[in-house]
């Protein structure tokens, strides 16, 4: 059973990865950014420290050089201690070590390396002059001092190196402060983003939980609806496990076997007082679960507690439940006892009907024999009556009195009318027995052909030479029908229209056609003739039924009955509308051509 739309579980496939991404953004990304900024801040701090170290090394170099020079001056003036002399003597090593420290600290600065190279050369030359000053008395050291000051100016170069380092130090301090500010802002921004993402995660979790609760409630509602449907279905339904224990059944199953609603059924063979102990049906049900076979429309007879024989139609198939790993057997039952009895009754009736058909066939053969007899055996006496009455009239000639002539005329007319009746009856009989020969029939051409024939007959009929007929024929379609039978329809309808309009100076006959809503073809034939009383319209299409005196309008009373039979065989119908002395309209309907029946027998 398909769950309704609101009972289906929501799709979380896209939400769970989104939740994981949110957690990743909350934890990993801020940590990575902070780690990166911390690394950058550490590098900036190291750069500042490095600048301080360079400045300190340069200042140490400057102090050491100044102290060496002062020591040399003191020695030149004739004073000084052993420590002063050691300082001057070891000046190369002391300044060399300091110089190497400064050079090592400024390896990343090419401009400073150039200045330090110049400084190293100047310091080397300056140390040479300083040692000479230390060995020269103060009174004679003035030229050396001038050389030291004027030709070897080392202090401006040291000031330039320090100034450069101060500029770098300021830049690096600014960069470190910027990194610190960025770290602070990032920390607060990351905290804000984490709070927002945490709120988003909480919202998503709440939404997921809400959707889950809604899905569970919808699932419970769907289960309740499914159970309600199961209990309402009038077809007994039962679920069986591998041991043919009843897992669930509906109310119809309980009603079928007379179980109470609260009755708990454990085994199928406990139901129906042994109705399910038949080994054949039990093996069939076992095969459904063990081999996956389906049981379709299997008839099983069971006897009730009252001794009545009941026939069940069993359908069973394997079903997998969502809450069980093992499959179960879904079995539906249909009590077809009434249908079986009805089928048996129908079989008996069909057997009786076959006997009736044989009887009807015998009657039809007798009718055919009767038609043959009428066609052949009755015509000879009629010809004798008509022939001998005509010979008698010619034999008597002028000797026959008025009464004799009248009798002879009545005998001849009656024989002629009897012959016409026989012909019409034979035509009517053939219309009911002959097979339809369906073909494309042009109704327009058929009506024009019938009109031409009727016009010629009307001109040759005594008493109608001066009558004028006004035809109004609309556009008519082509149909699939029996052409000869359709010709018979038009001949009768149009012939009647001319006959019953014969007393009008101008006979107006209209033929129309239109399509009904269902696609049927609706034809009509209207005249301005004598009409008839609608009270007797029910007799109009019966055999030998006439609404006018034979003395007023000739005819046998079979034409309209033949029309009705032809239209009925084509699946159509006919009716008429009229008023006395106001003309009549005959309507007939034929279903769509391709839907017309190919054969049908009517009495």
507: helix, strand or coil: strand
Lowest-pLDDT choice from 37-46, 224-233, 248-257: 37-46
395: tokens are 């034999």
C-beta atoms surrounding 421 within 10 Å = 15
Map 216-278 to HEC letters.
HHHHHHHHHHHHHHHHHCCCCEEEECCCCEEEEECHHHHHHCCCCCCCCCCEHHHCCCCCCCC
Q: Residue 514: what pLDDT? A: 92
pLDDT for 599 equals: 40
pLDDT of 597 strictly over 60: no
> What's the confidence (pLDDT) of residue 5?
41
pLDDT exceeds 50 at position 600 = no
Do 499 and 555 meet the contact criterion of CB atoms below 8 Å apart?
yes
- 435-595: same fold as 234-335? no
Q: Which CATH architecture has domain 15-196?
A: Up-down Bundle (1.20)
Strand order of the β-sheet with 327-335 is 246-249, 237-240, 327-335, 309-320, 295-303
Res. 587: pLDDT tops 80: yes
**Total-model pTM:** 0.39
Higher pLDDT, 166 or 30: 166
Residue 414 binned pLDDT confidence (cut-offs 50, 70, 90):
low
- CB contact at 8 A, 84 and 71: yes
Fold of 435-595: Heat Shock Protein 90 (3.30.565)
Question: For residues 374 and 425, is the Cβ–Cβ distance under 8 A?
Answer: yes
pLDDT bracket for residue 385 (50, 70, 90): confident
pLDDT class for 190, splitting at 50, 70, 90?
A: confident
Q: What sign does the dihedral 342-345-351-357 (CA atoms) show?
A: negative
Residue 445 has a CB neighbour count (10 Å cut-off) of 12
Q: Are 294 and 316 in contact (CB under 8 A)?
A: yes
- CA–CA distance, 587 with 512 (Å, rounded to integer): 9
pLDDT, the chain, mean: 76
Share of the chain above pLDDT 90, in %: 5
d(CA 452, CA 445): 11
H-state helical runs in 373-440: 379-396, 402-433
Query: What's the angle, vertex CA 202, arms to CA 199 and CA 206, rounded to 5?
Result: 140
Rounded (to 5) percent helix, strand, coil in the chain: 65, 15, 25
Residues pairing with 575 in the sheet: 587
pLDDT at 7 over 50: no
Q: What is the pLDDT of residues 423-473, one digit of tens each?
A: 656 665 655 556 677 888 899 999 999 888 888 776 666 555 556 888 999
Mean pLDDT of 246-254: 83
User: pLDDT band at residue 594, thresholds of 50, 70 and 90?
Assistant: very low
Q: For residue 334, what are its two tokens?
A: 């249909």
Kindly state the average pLDDT of the residues 546-554: 57
From CA 41, how far away is CA 176, in angstroms rounded? 6
- b/e 184-217 (16+ beta carbons within 10 angstroms → b): eebeeebeebeeebeeebeeeeeeeeeeeeebee
Residue 168 pLDDT more than 50? yes
215 token code pair: 């899905």
pLDDT tier at 261, thresholds 50, 70, 90 = low
Beta bridge partners of 240: 246, 329
CATH topology of domain 234-335: Beta-Lactamase (3.30.450)
Domain coordinates in residue numbering, the chain? 15-196, 234-335, 343-377, 435-595
Q: Where residue 540 falls among pLDDT bands split at 50, 70, 90?
A: confident
Residue-wise pLDDT for 19-63, tens only, equals: 677 667 667 777 777 777 777 767 777 777 877 887 788 888 778
Residue found under tokens 């080397």: 124
pLDDT for residue 524 is more than 90 = yes
Query: Who contacts 115 (Cβ-Cβ below 8 Å, separation ≥6)?
Result: 157, 160, 161, 164
Per the structure block, which two tokens stand in for 561? 């009955």
* Residue 499, token pair as written in the block: 């006959």
Q: Are the C-beta atoms of residues 496 and 562 closer than 8 Å to each other?
A: no
Cα torsion for 127, 130, 131, 135, to the nearest 10°?
Answer: 170
- In the predicted structure, residue 602 carries a pLDDT above the cut 50: no
- The tokens for 14 are 């896209």
CB atoms within 10 A of CB 389: 19
Q: What is the mean pLDDT of residues 97-111?
A: 80
Place 9 in a pLDDT band, splitting at 50, 70 and 90. very low
Stated as kind and residue range, the H or E segment containing 458 is: helix 443-460
Q: Please tell me the predicted confidence (pLDDT) of residue 603.
A: 35
d(CA 543, CA 550): 15
Number of H helices, E strands in the chain: 14, 12
Please provide the DSSP assignment of 35-69 as one string.
HHHHHHHHHHHHHHHHHHHHHHHHHHHHHHHHHHH
């Amino acid at each position: 059973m398909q769950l309704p739309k609101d009972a289906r579980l929501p799709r979380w496939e896209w939400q769970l990865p989104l939740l994981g991404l949110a957690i990743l953004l909350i934890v990993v990304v801020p940590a990575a950014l902070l780690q990166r900024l911390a690394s950058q801040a550490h590098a900036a701090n190291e750069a500042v420290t490095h600048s301080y170290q360079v400045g300190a090394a340069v200042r140490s170099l400057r102090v050491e050089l100044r102290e060496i020079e002062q020591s040399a001056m003191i020695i030149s003036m004739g004073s000084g201690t052993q420590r002063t002399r050691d300082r001057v003597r070891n000046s190369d090593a002391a300044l060399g070590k300091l110089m190497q420290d400064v050079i090592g600290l400024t390896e990343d600065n090419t401009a400073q390396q150039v200045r330090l190279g110049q400084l190293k050369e100047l310091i080397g030359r300056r140390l040479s002059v300083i040692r000479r000053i230390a060995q020269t008395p103060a009174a004679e050291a003035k030229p050396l001092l001038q050389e030291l000051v004027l030709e070897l100016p080392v202090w401006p170069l040291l000031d330039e190196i320090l100034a450069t380092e101060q500029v770098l130090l300021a830049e690096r301090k600014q960069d470190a402060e910027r990194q610190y500010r960025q770290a602070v802002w990032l920390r607060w921004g990351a905290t804000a983003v984490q709070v927002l993402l945490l709120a988003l995660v909480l919202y998503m979790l709440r939404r997921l939980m809400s959707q889950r609760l809604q899905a569970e409630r919808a699932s419970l509602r769907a289960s309740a609806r499914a159970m309600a449907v199961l209990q309402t279905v009038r077809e007994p339904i039962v679920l069986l496990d591998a041991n043919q224990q009843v897992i669930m059944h509906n109310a119809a199953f309980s009603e079928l076997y007379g179980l109470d609603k609260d009755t708990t059924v454990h085994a199928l063979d406990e139901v129906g007082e042994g109705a399910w102990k038949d080994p054949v049906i039990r093996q069939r049900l076992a095969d459904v679960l063990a081999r996956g076979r389906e049981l379709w429309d299997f008839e099983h007879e069971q006897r009730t507690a009252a001794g009545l024989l009941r026939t069940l139609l069993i359908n069973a198939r394997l079903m997998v439940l969502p809450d069980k790993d093992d499959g179960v057997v879904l079995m539906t039952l249909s009590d077809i006892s009434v249908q079986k009895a009805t089928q048996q009754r129908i079989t008996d009736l069909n057997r009786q009907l076959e006997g009736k058909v044989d009887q009807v066939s015998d009657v039809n053969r007798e009718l055919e024999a009767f038609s043959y007899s009428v066609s052949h055996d009755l015509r000879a006496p009629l010809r004798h009556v008509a022939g001998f009455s005509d010979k008698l009239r010619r034999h008597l000639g002028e000797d026959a009195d008025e009464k004799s002539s009248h009798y002879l005329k009545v005998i001849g007319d009656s024989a002629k009318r009897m012959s016409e009746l026989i012909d019409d009856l034979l035509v009517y009989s053939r219309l009911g027995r002959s097979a339809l020969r369906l073909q494309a029939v042009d109704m327009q051409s058929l009506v024009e052909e019938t009109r031409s024939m009727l016009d010629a007959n009307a001109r040759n009929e005594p008493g109608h030479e001066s009558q004028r007929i006004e035809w109004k024929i609309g556009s008519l379609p082509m149909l699939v029908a029996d052409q000869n039978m359709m010709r018979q329809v038009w001949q009768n309808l149009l012939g009647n229209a001319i006959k019953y309009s014969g007393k009008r100076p101008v006979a107006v006959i209209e033929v129309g056609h239109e399509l009904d809503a269902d696609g049927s073809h609706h034809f009509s034939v209207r005249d301005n003739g004598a009409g008839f009383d609608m009270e007797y319209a029910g007799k109009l299409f019966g055999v030998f039924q006439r609404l006018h005196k034979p003395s007023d309008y000739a005819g046998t009373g079979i034409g309209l009955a033949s029309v009705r039979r032809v239209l009925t065989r084509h699946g159509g119908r006919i009716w008429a509308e009229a008023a006395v002395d106001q003309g009549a309209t005959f309507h007939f309907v034929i279903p769509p051509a391709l839907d017309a029946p190919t054969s049908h027998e009517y009495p």
